A and B are shown apart, each in its own frame.
Chain A
Amino acid sequence: LAKTTQPISMDSYEGQEVNITCSHNNIATNDYITWYQQFPSQGPRFIIQGYKTKVTNEVASLFIPADRKSSTLSLPRVSLSDTAVYYCLVVEGGAGSYQLTFGKGTKLSVIP
């Protein structure tokens, strides 16, 4: 079971780049890494997903080293509205069954 480990919290000033790293030492060959954002009293929202190397979209970048035992979510130039909890998810499974593992999440606080 590929558990994930993230920092519990991070603080950043507005306009800075924020990097949140997730460890997943037991990730399986066919697993993907997905990051979600959650605001209070709302369901999580998909941010980005990757398998290896680097993925970039309009809101974030995801860096995955060759061994895939960790991944780093990069948020460029954060604003106050980026204050939220960020979850790292590894989708794993065998034939006919899938277990989903959310990390404990990283609470990002953006400071004016």
Chain B
Amino acid sequence: EADIYQTPRYLVIGTGKKITLECSQTMGHDKMYWYQQDPGMELHLIHYSYGVNSTEKGDLSSESTVSRIRTEHFPLTLESARPSHTSQYLCASSETPRSDTQYFGPGTRLTVL
């Protein structure tokens, strides 16, 4: 089983609040990813990182930001949450981007009122 964790699992918050979604992995993987997924819809890559101090935007534009100060930690931040940010956010990691598998966390379901 993969060792990748996300907290919180569920978050309900009011508009305008700043939030940080946590993601940690204990596998020493260099590559980490954030996906956004609405119920019944496909996954969209919003951020990824090759390693420490590396972050890139994915194919879906997102108002969130990420940081990668430590290999094992890849938090996602929304400075001012809006109802349009309501979604499920999934974090994943992989040892290398090609051929190796991605291991997904359990996800954070965010609801912005």
Hey, which bits of chain A sit against chain B, CB under 8 A? 30-32, 34, 36, 41-46, 49, 51, 87, 91, 93, 97-105
Contact = CB atoms under 8 A, between A and B. Distances in A.
B28 interface: no
Contact of A102 (B43, B107, B109): B43
A34 B101 contact: yes
B74 interface: no
A46 B98 contact: no
- In this complex, the interface size class of chain B, counting residues with CB under 8 Å from chain A, is 20 to 34
Contacts of A93: 97-98
A21 B38 CA distance: 24
B107 A41 contact: yes
B59 A99 contact: yes
Interface in B1-50: 33, 42-45, 48
Given A41-B109, A87-B43, A32 B99 contact: yes
A49 B59 CA distance: 23
Nearest to A96: B50
Contacts of A31: 98
Contacts of A42: 106-107
B59 A32 contact: no
Given A91-B97, A93-B97, A46 B43 contact: no
6 contacts: A36-B102, A45-B104, A46-B102, A46-B103, A49-B101, A100-B45
Contact of B104 (A44, A91, A97, A99): A44
B98 A43 contact: no
5 A-B pairs with least C-beta separation: A43-B104, A46-B101, A98-B97, A102-B43, A104-B42
B92 interface: yes
